[in-house]
Chains A and B, each alone.
Chain A
């Protein structure tokens, strides 16, 4: 990561100070701009945040907060609906009249909007039916793929190298993943394959780096996945050897669960 940062003309020391918020305004703005477009520096920043978190945890002398803070907090959220709170109304006749006028207008607009909403609802229904059909087809495909009695053949061109292929076995509750790949071209210096866990929601999570050997095969075991993150699939991209915080190239291989 250090070399990567240097390549980007961002000194790792400056990135550290940026994470700490210990830079002057001009330098902070310069590095912020760079970090927004540099995956490896973003990953380094995220790692620095973890370093800082541990430093804070290890360095803060033990202090118990007063119980009143929890009481206050729990009382506050007990009345909170996660929506802006309503202020107490200070009713006056003029105010009531204004509110009544607004309500009349609201009823009119509501009637008008209802018609629009009906047509939108119909469109959504049609979209839902379409997606249901897609979903049924996806399930049928998945059933076929899982069918132990189905014949499995891989057809390849007779005059070219077989297609790259990778098998991934992942345990989400233990945060472990095993990858075995074949027909994968070895990458030159400075480049590595990076496996990405595609969570059910959110951005891809780095799931380990590897390279293929001279026989165009690869195997990797990675135990550093966040636990209990349900994967909808995996993808492999080519990244700088230091790794990236987010994919920077299109996947060379990708697979999602049925």
Chain B
């Protein structure tokens, strides 16, 4: 964990190198790594909407659940690995997140949020709880998400992610570091302020303004 706190790696984590390799859902990846429209998503050869697949999962359709797994397992695994830095633990989190989706698909309210963003937050929260050893945080399952942006659309998601990456590339290093420590390392603001030798208020403002900057990218 400590090596990731080093400045170079942190910038790398947010910087162009790693960010340029954002997860492409498995079922949209060709053999040479490019994107393609999935023909396996439905018998009609069209990409079924996430909310439809969640609804079918609620009815116990394993095929729909498998499609959701193919679509977002790479995202969930990547986020988990980003936090826990341990492939075995990341696999456990991936398994748990999808098992939870299978057992309680109603936890995702398609009328209030986008599935990929919801899964990313659930995964991040679960992973943070792992590294904190249940120190106590927002209930990792009780995430309600509201966005005016449709991240279920592959095109819109790709566009937004590219813009967020560009934003992170240009973000001042101390701000980037504060977000890194809070979001991916699960540190409290007091711990961050102590490590960075900065006033609490400065740390709070940096983190808040970073998320607001991200929100502006999401707004139409």
A residues whose Cβ falls under 8 Å from a Cβ of B: 11-14, 16-25, 28, 42-43, 45-66, 69-70, 72-74, 76-78, 80, 82, 175, 197, 199, 202-203, 205-206, 223-224, 226-229, 245
Contacts and interface: CB of A to CB of B under 8 A. Distances in A.
Given A49-B118, A59-B184, A63-B81, 15 more contacts: A20-B183, A25-B136, A49-B146, A52-B121, A53-B147, A56-B121, A57-B22, A58-B160, A61-B81, A62-B21, A65-B90, A65-B91, A77-B102, A206-B146, A227-B152
Nearest to A61: B18
Contacts of B205: 13
Given A57-B161, A82-B60, A224-B148, A22 B189 contact: yes
A227 B26 CA distance: 24
Contacts of B113: 46, 49-50, 226
Contacts of A227: 49, 51, 150, 152
B69 A58 contact: no
A2 to B, nearest CB: 9
B131 to A, nearest CB: 11
A18 B116 CA distance: 21
Contacts of A46: 112-113, 144-146
Interface in B37-90: 49, 51-52, 60, 62, 65-66, 69, 73-79, 81-82, 90
A60 B168 CA distance: 12
Given A58-B161, A77-B99, A229-B111, A51 B23 contact: no
B130 interface: no
Interface string B138-158: 100001111111111000010
B175 interface: no
A146 B49 CA distance: 32
User: Chain A: interface secondary structure?
Assistant: helix
Given A58-B168, A59-B13, A202-B109, A51 B62 contact: no
14 contacts: A17-B207, A22-B207, A49-B121, A50-B114, A50-B147, A54-B164, A55-B183, A57-B22, A57-B75, A57-B157, A65-B73, A66-B91, A80-B102, A197-B111
A14 B118 CA distance: 22
A203 B113 CA distance: 13
A68 to B, nearest CB: 8
A24 B204 CA distance: 13
Instruction: Count chain A CB atoms within 10 A of each CB in B65, B102, B123, B179 and give the residue with the most.
Output: B102
Given A63-B74, A227-B49, A229-B111, A73 B218 contact: no
Contact of A23 (B98, B112, B114, B188): B188
Given A60-B81, A76-B99, A49 B111 contact: no
Nearest to A199: B111
A60 B138 contact: no
Given A60-B79, A205-B112, A69 B94 contact: yes
A175 B156 CA distance: 15
Nearest to B14: A59
Instruction: Count chain B CB atoms within 10 A of each CB in A48, A61, A197, A227 and give the residue with the most.
Output: A61
B19 to A, nearest CB: 6
Contacts of B220: 223-224
A65 B74 contact: yes
Nearest to B92: A69
A209 to B, nearest CB: 12
B23 A60 contact: yes
B138 A59 contact: no
B196 interface: no
B103 interface: yes
B218 A23 contact: no
